[in-house]
Amino acid sequence: EVQLVESGGGLVQAGGSLRLSCAASGFTFDDSAIGWFRQVPGKEREGVSCSRSSDGSTYYADSVKGRFTISTDNAKNTMYLQMNSLKPEDTAVYYCATSQARLRVGLLCTLYGMDYWGKGTLVTVSS
């Protein structure tokens, strides 16, 4: 059974940093696409960053390029989202997700979504 559990959210001032973690089980990063998404109440979910280690592909939304970094620690079965230079508009519930679909990660992030999702962690950036 695939399980994903996010942690690391919280309150941070604009310009600060946070690192989100997602403890994963029931699948391996080698065979899967992984991603981070976010959602503000009343707005559509946004794909923040997705990647697939088997082909080295990575996607970042334009709004986070140069500020956020997606990564994994295979030994710990954990994926991360390092978020720097945070802005108030980054405030959202952040979800980690995974899929074994053989689609480009950009499409998974922007159009198709993923198959399995965590429950989310709230990030609040104050101005």
| CB proximity list for 52: less than 8 A, separation 6 or greater | 32, 33, 34, 105
Mean pLDDT taken over the chain:
96
pLDDT at 89: 97
pLDDT at 31: 81
Residue 90 has pLDDT above 90, yes or no: yes
Coil/strand/helix, residue 20: strand
Share of the chain above pLDDT 90, in %: 91
Mean per-residue pLDDT, 11-28: 97
Residues 22-75: pLDDT tens digits?
999 999 998 899 999 999 999 999 999 999 999 999 999 999 999 999 999 999
Give just the sign of the alpha carbon dihedral 117, 19, 105, 94. positive
9 is written with which tokens? Answer: 């959210």
